[in-house]
Amino acid sequence: MRPITFASALLFALCGSAALAAGKPSFDCARARTNVEKAICADGALAAQDASIAKNFGKARKAFDAATAKALTQDQRYFVQVRDDAYAAASDGGTPGKELADRLKYRDAFLASLALKPRQGFEGVWENLAGGFSVKKQADGSLVFDGSAAHPQNGRWVCDVQGIGTVKGDTLVVQTSDAEGWILTLVRKGAGVELSESPPSGAANSAGRPYCGLNGGLVGAYFPVAKP
């Protein structure tokens, strides 16, 4: 057996250090308290994914204006809550580890897809933890809205709605198609969009959106994402 030279030993040590660094999460494992934190610390791949999420999240918060950064922080807190709840109650025959890995992977992909350069108007794709929508200009100049969302933990409600939008200043008013007269109002707020929903005048049940399941809705802040 050939002796290990100083150079090869140094290379081995450096590679080992790099692997350990890549496996460090965004938090101190010595202070890990929750089952999710302990699971992340126990798996190098999960730890690296968590670190990547923190990196992409921090990059986006720094690039966005204060209002959008605050909304993204709220979305991230919601993600952590959903992540922990999903880990505790893995569904569809999945293991908690697989559930956690999938959650981290898709959250990281979302954060990495955020469009950090200022975007004008409403055209493009906008997303948050629960779902998203696209706004596309047609040949006749009209703006077509196509939105969908689902409860981010277990999909117990699903929304699916389309419509035609009209721009009024910094607001896009969408008349929904086949949704019993519901109106979606989109307002630009910093780099993002705030979406609200309004039932038709005199609606008997203003809480039940015909394009969503029970207790579902699209209301909330959405963030610009770059899609190929």
pLDDT (tens digit per residue) in 127-152: 999 999 999 999 998 999 999 999 99
pTM here is: 0.87
Q: Rounded distance, CA 70 to CA 65, Å?
A: 9
What is the pLDDT confidence band of residue 190, given thresholds at 50, 70 and 90? very high
Residue range(s) defining the domain that contains residue 67: 9-113
**Domain co-membership, 62 together with 18:** yes
Residues 14 and 91 placed together within one structural domain of the fold = yes
Q: 113, 148, 163 — which closes off a domain?
A: 113
Using DSSP bridges, classify how beta strands 143-150 and 171-176 pair: parallel, antiparallel or unpaired: unpaired
Q: Is residue 118 part of a domain?
A: no
Contact between residue 157 and residue 214 where contact means Cβ atoms under 8 Å apart = yes
Verify that 212 and 171 share a domain, yes or no. Answer: yes
Exposure string for 135-149, b = 16+ CB within 10 A, e = fewer: beeeeeeebebebbb
136 assigned to some structural domain? yes
Q: pLDDT of 158-187, one tens digit each?
A: 999 999 999 988 899 999 998 889 999 999
Same domain, 97 and 186: no
Give the model confidence (pLDDT) of 5-54 as tens digits: 334 443 334 344 343 445 799 999 999 999 999 999 999 999 999 999 99
In-domain check, residue 104? yes
Q: How many domains does the chain have?
A: 2
Which residue, among 214, 44, 38, 53, has the nearest Cα to 129 in the 3D structure? 53
Token digits for 77?
């807190």
Choosing from 93, 113, 133, the residue where a domain stops is 113
Q: What single letter denotes the amino acid at residue 48?
A: A
Do residues 90 and 137 share a domain?
A: no
Per-residue pLDDT of 52-69, as tens digits, reads 999 999 999 999 999 999
Residue 1 is assigned to a structural domain of this protein: no
Given 71, 91, 113, which residue is the final one in a domain?
Answer: 113
